[in-house]
Every structure is written in C-alpha cells, then in structure tokens.
C-alpha cells in the first residue's frame, strides 16, 4: 500500500502496453466511457481482494507516462485524491467515481498529461481506493502481494480501454505504485540507468534525505532539499577527474562529448520524474563536492 499525506489509500495504475508505432488517439475518455471503465476495473480488482467492493474506487480516465505517476509526493494521485474529496455522496456507501473529459471533449487540467512525455510504449491510467482505514490496509497488503504476478485485466476491460482510447493495446494489467516503481527500477537498470534510479527512489520514498551519485564515470550529482545539483565540469576539471592522462586529444574530445550527453540524459530523466535539476559550474581549481553543497 502507498500512503498519502492525508491518510492511507491504495494507489495504483492500469498499465497499458501499446503496440509499437501506435499512439492512443484520445487522451481522456468521456464521462460515460470513464464510468464503464471504472466499473470493470473495480470488478477486476475485487477478484483479487473482495473488500475492494467496500471502498471508494476513484479513476482518472486519462493516460500518462509512468514517470508522471512516479513523482515526489505521488503528485498525480494526489490530484486524484483532491478530486475525490470534492465528489458528492460522501458517507453514502462505497462509490465508483470516474473523471474524464468534459461535455465539450476538453480535458480538465488535473487530467492533462505532460505533452513532452508522449510516445512511449507504456501508458498508465491512475486509480485509488479509499475508505475505512482497516479495510484500506487489508486491501493494500493483498494487492501488493498479488498484482505484479496475477494482475492482468480481464479481456472485456482491456477491449473497452483499447476501443475508448483508440489504442492498439498488447497487454493491460494492474499495478500498485510500488509495483510500478519496481518495474521501472528494473527497466532503468537494464538501460544503464540503475545508479540514477537510487536518486529517484530517494526523492520518492525519503524526500527529506540527502543522496550522492559519486561513481565515475557517471556524472557527479547531489540530491538534497527536493532537488538535484549536477556538477558541470570545465574540460580540464573533467579530465582530471575522469580521464586517463595518456589518452589522445581526439579520444578525450569524444569522451567529453559523451559525458556531456550523459549529463543531459540524466537531467531529462530526473525532470520527467518531477525532480528539479540545477547545473553547478565546477572549474578546475575547486572541490566539486563542496561546490554542490554550497
């Protein structure tokens, strides 16, 4: 179970694995489609944890990049939590609450995905479960234990999502946010970004703590105070820290360009996860770690 700052809730996503070359035609569903998807989603989750029926199920019927769901403070789900708190019917029993596009087809700001993060093969549709604390705890523990292995959406649910979003979906499955984080960590490790995931994990799970990535040949960075500072080395300072002294100038130039590209890649990934990035100029006559702490 993932905890919200305002109380325990179960935070999860319906993960849509898209066919290569096929982006969804629609960013969000109509109110009718959103309600239909919420009903099927609730039914699917109840097959794993029957007490789901005793909780409010709140669905944002819009799709996002996974990085948008893995941001400090779980900001995407907090938007959903705020919408839930304003929904009518509180105290009248378990509710299915779905948010989508308005009557004119426009997408409200809380459901607008980051335009710069479109195009990936995995999109996520966020949901949360809220209600009695004891029931939330029990359902959260159950879903954490089973969804990663057995959380495939039923066929009619996947078909509804495919039709409504106008997407070619290879697989549709349910995950808690912890499941999504574990999967992302594995993907980053396979993609050569394993050390960076530890920075993102700190921002997610322990945002008040400090974390250093100080492992050459990786760029030097420090996470503290909710943001990351990356050391921006001048060529001579970079050579002193990273390069062998007997390498030719041509190879050094290529290696330095590769290092700069790696810095930009790391900054882009961090910013996709909602972690602000600042580059700190580090000339050759300064201690880079001290510069990042100043």
226-265 pLDDT per residue, tens: 999 999 988 888 888 887 666 667 788 888 899 999 999 9
Q: Where a domain ends, among 169, 189, 209?
A: 189
Q: What is the sign, positive or negative, of the torsion defined by CA atoms of 192, 198, 199, 201?
A: positive
Are 155 and 278 members of one domain?
Answer: no
Q: Tell me: do 155 and 69 sit in the same domain.
A: yes
pTM reported for the whole predicted model: 0.92
Q: What is the pLDDT of residues 10-50, one digit of tens each?
A: 999 999 999 988 889 999 999 999 999 999 999 999 999 99
Residue 35, classed as helix, strand or coil, is helix
Same domain flag for 149 and 221: no
- Do residues 73 and 161 both lie within one domain? yes
Q: Write the pLDDT tens digit of every residue in 189-219.
A: 999 999 999 999 999 999 999 999 999 889 9
**Which of residues 163, 189, 215 is at a domain's end?**
189
For 250, the domain range is: 192-293
Q: How far apart are CA 179 and CA 52, in angstroms?
A: 18
Residue 66: per-residue pLDDT: 97
Q: Are residues 220 and 84 in the same domain?
A: no
Mean pLDDT to the nearest integer, 129-136: 95
**One domain, residues 231 and 176:** no
Are 186 and 66 a contacting pair, CB within 8 Å? no
Specify whether 111 is located in the same domain as 201: no
Q: How far is CA 90 from the centre of its chain?
A: 29
Note the pLDDT of residue 1: 44
**Residues 211 and 184 both lie in one domain:** no
- Number of domains making up the chain: 2
Task: Tell me, yes or no, whether 69 and 170 share the same domain.
Answer: yes
Which one of 104-118, 194-208, 230-244, 275-289 scores highest in mean pLDDT? 194-208
pLDDT exceeds 80 at position 87: yes
Q: What is the mean pLDDT of the chain?
A: 91
Domain endpoint, select from 158, 189, 220? 189
pLDDT of residue 6: 52
Q: Give the Cα separation of 118 and 285 in Å (integer).
A: 42
């Amino acid at each position: 179970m993932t905890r919200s700052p305002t109380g325990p809730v179960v935070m999860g996503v319906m993960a849509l694995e898209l066919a290569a070359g096929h982006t969804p035609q629609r960013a969000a569903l109509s109110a009718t489609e959103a309600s239909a998807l919420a009903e099927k989603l609730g039914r699917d989750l109840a097959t794993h944890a029957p007490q789901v029926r005793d909780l409010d199920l709140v669905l944002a019927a819009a799709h996002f990049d996974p990085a948008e769901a893995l941001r400090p403070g779980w900001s995407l789900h907090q938007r959903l939590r705020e919408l839930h708190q304003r929904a009518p019917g509180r105290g009248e029993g378990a509710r299915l609450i779905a948010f989508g596009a308005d009557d004119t087809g426009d997408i409200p700001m809380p459901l607008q995905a980051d335009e710069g993060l479109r195009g990936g093969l995995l999109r996520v549709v966020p949901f949360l479960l809220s209600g009695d604390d004891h029931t939330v705890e029990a359902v959260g523990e159950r879903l954490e234990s089973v969804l990663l292995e057995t959380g495939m959406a039923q066929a009619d649910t996947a078909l509804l999502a495919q039709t409504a979003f106008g997407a070619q979906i290879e697989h549709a499955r349910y995950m808690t946010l912890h499941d999504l984080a574990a999967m992302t960590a594995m993907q980053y490790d396979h993609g050569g970004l394993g050390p960076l995931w530890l920075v993102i994990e700190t921002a997610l799970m322990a945002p008040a703590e400090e974390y250093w990535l100080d492992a050459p040949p990786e760029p030097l960075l420090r996470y503290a105070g909710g943001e990351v500072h990356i050391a921006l080395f001048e060529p001579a300072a970079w050579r002193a820290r990273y390069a062998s002294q007997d390498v030719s100038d041509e190879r050094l130039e290529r290696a330095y360009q590769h290092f700069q590209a790696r810095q930009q890649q790391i900054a882009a990934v961090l910013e996709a996860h909602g972690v602000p990035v600042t580059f700190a100029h580090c000339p050759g006559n300064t201690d880079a770690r001290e510069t990042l702490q100043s």
